[in-house]
Amino acid sequence: MAADHAGVALKAFLKEWLETQGYAVRDFGTYTAESVDYPDYVRPLAEALLREEVNAGLSICGTGNGVSMMLNRYRGIRAALCWLPEIARLSRAHNNANVCSLPARFITTDTAQAVVAVFLTTTFEGGRHQRRIEKIDALRSTPHSNHKNHLLDNDRL
Ligand code: RB5
C-alpha cells in the first residue's frame, strides 16, 4: 500500500481490515497527514511489485489519478482507478490490473472496502485480454511532445 496525505486515513483503515482478513501488508507510507508528493510514495510500491516482493498494490490519493499516472509509467504495472466493485472486478478480469487505485476524497470507506475485496479475489480471464495487455507492454517508448500541454493550448483548439 502507498498513499499521500489525502489517502493516509483510508490506507490506515484498509490496512487494519486487510490484516484481520489474513493478508500480509507492506505499507510504504505516507504515515501522517502532512502534505507530501505522491510519486515519492508510490515509487517504492512500484519497485516492490516489479521485484515480485508483493503480489498486488493498493495506491491512494485524493482522486486516485496522480498515483495511477505515476504507476502506469512502469512497464508491467497496470494500475486501475477503481471507485465501484464492478470496476474493480473488470480491472482484474479483463485488464489483469496489479494495482488498485482508490480516490480517497470521492469514495466511502464501505465502498473502498468492497472494491478492495473484489479486486483481491477476482482472477484474470486471459484469452483475448492477454493479447491486449501484451500490446500495452509492447509499447517501448513514445515520442515526447515539444509543446508542453499542447492539448490545452487554446490556439490549437
Ligand atoms: C492532493 O491534494 C491531491 O492533489 C492528490 O491527493 C491527488 O488527488 C492527485 O492526483
Residue 10 near residue 3 (C-beta atoms within 8 A)? yes
Look up the pTM and report it. 0.91
Separation in Å, CA 148 to CA 44, 120, 133, 140, 153: 28, 38, 28, 21, 9
Measured CA angle at 98 (ends 96, 75), to 5 deg:
90
Domain ranges of the chain: 2-141
* Preceding amide of 142 cis, omega within 30: no
Q: What is the pLDDT of residues 60-76, one digit of tens each?
A: 999 999 999 999 999 99
> 127 alpha carbon to ligand 1 midpoint, in Å?
36
Catalytic residue from among 5, 82, 94, 100: 94
62 Cβ neighbours under 8 A, 6+ residues apart? 4, 6, 7, 103, 104, 105, 106
More reliable by pLDDT, 29 or 151: 29
Lining residues, ligand 1, CB within 6 Å:
4, 6, 38, 61-63, 65-66
Q: What is the pLDDT of residues 2-52, one digit of tens each?
A: 999 999 999 999 999 999 999 999 999 999 999 999 999 999 999 999 999
Give, in words, the CATH class of 2-141: alpha beta
Q: CA-to-CA distance for 60 and 48, rounded, in angstroms? A: 16
Catalytic residue from among 61, 82, 147, 150: 61
Residue 148 Ramachandran class (φ > 0 left, ψ -120 to 50 alpha, else beta) = beta
The residue written with cell numbers 502507498 in the block is 2
